[in-house]
Amino acid sequence: MLNLILFGPPGAGKGTQSEQLIDAYNLKHISTGDLLRAERKAGTELGIKANEYIAKGELVPDEVVVGMVRNFMKEHSSSKGFIFDGFPRTTPQAEALDNLLSEFGAKIDIVLGLEVIVDELVKRLLLRGETSGRADDQSEETIRNRFKEYQTKTLPLMDYYTKKNSYVGVNGMGEIDHIQSSLREEINKVL
Ligand code: C5P
Ligand code: MG
């Protein structure tokens, strides 16, 4: 199995880069944000509850997100591996992911951190908000709160994975294809 995390703040390009990587390496894409939005669209209890957090730019409780990831992985247990996009977001989520993967006899092989300066992130999110219909991309206040959540709860994971020797930072500014090549270069090193 090949399991990788695309790490980075909102707007870093995790979703965009995942699209090409899943085809190139035959992996399953797990975007917890997409899963939560699908639940909301389907009007499930989980989706309605999650939206209270999403609308404010806050993080959905760990057990909810971890449960969703566990279900997804079990449903796709024959997959060659997973790309985790937007997950884990907290240390307890990272620990839960390690445990989940060990049930598959697998581990996180590499964490690719997309590095983008804040001004560029805000610009990208507001631009995406014009077409995505995502309310959390349209309000500067919500965007600011998402960054705050990232700084306080998610950024410590950089240290968590650096200690495990799996974190690699990649320049996330510039051409999409160029960034894709940099990511593949790093992935190919651990294959
Ligand atoms: O990952 P994405 O940017 O699509 O997430 C959008 C929102 O979904 C986040 O701002 C947060 O409210 C929620 N979310 C979460 N926990 C995750 C992934 C997403 O709370 N692991
Ligand atoms: Mg995304």
Is 70 catalytic? The answer is no
Q: Model confidence at 124, in pLDDT bands (50, 70, 90)? A: very high
**Ligand 1 pocket, residue 36 CB under 6 Å:** yes
Contact (Cβ atoms closer than 8 angstroms) between residue 96 and residue 88: yes
pLDDT score of 35 = 98
Model confidence pLDDT, tens digit, residues 54-109: 999 999 999 999 999 999 999 999 999 999 999 999 999 999 999 999 999 999 99
Tell whether ligand 1 has an atom less than 6 A from the beta carbon of residue 10.
yes
Number of the ligand closest to the Cα of 135:
1
pLDDT band at 122 (very low <50, low <70, confident <90, very high): very high
Please give, one letter per residue, the 3-state secondary structure of the chain. Answer: CEEEEEECCCCCCHHHHHHHHHHHHCCEEEEHHHHHHHHHHHCCHHHHHHHHHHHHCCCCCHHHHHHHHHHHHHHCCCCCEEEEECCCCCHHHHHHHHHHHHHCCCCCCEEEEEECCHHHHHHHHHHHHHHHCCHHHCCHHHHHHHHHHHHHHHCHHHHHHHHCCCEEEEECCCCHHHHHHHHHHHHHHHC
Q: Which atom of ligand 1 is nearest to the CA of 136?
A: 10
Going by CA atoms, what residue is nearest to atom 4 of ligand 1? Answer: 33
Q: Is the CB of 59 under 6 A from ligand 1?
A: yes
pLDDT for 88 equals 98
Ligand 1 atom nearest residue 56's Cα? 12
Name the CA radius of gyration of the chain, rounded: 16
Global pTM value: 0.98
- Which pairs count as long-range contacts for 162-171, CB under 8 Å and 24+ apart, including other chains? 164/108, 166/108, 166/109, 166/110, 166/111, 167/7, 167/111, 167/113, 168/110, 168/111, 168/112, 168/113, 169/113, 169/115, 170/112, 170/113, 170/114, 170/115, 171/115
> Average pLDDT, whole number, for the chain?
97
pLDDT at 19: 97
At 175 the pLDDT is 98
Segment 178-182 mean pLDDT: 98
Per-residue model confidence as pLDDT tens digits over 149-173: 999 999 999 999 999 999 999 999 9
| Ligand located closest to 39 CA | 1
Active site residue 89: yes
- Whether ligand 1 lies within 6 angstroms of the CB of 94 is answered as no
Q: What is the pLDDT of residue 174?
A: 96
Q: How far is CA 32 from CA 36, 140, 146, in A?
A: 6, 22, 15
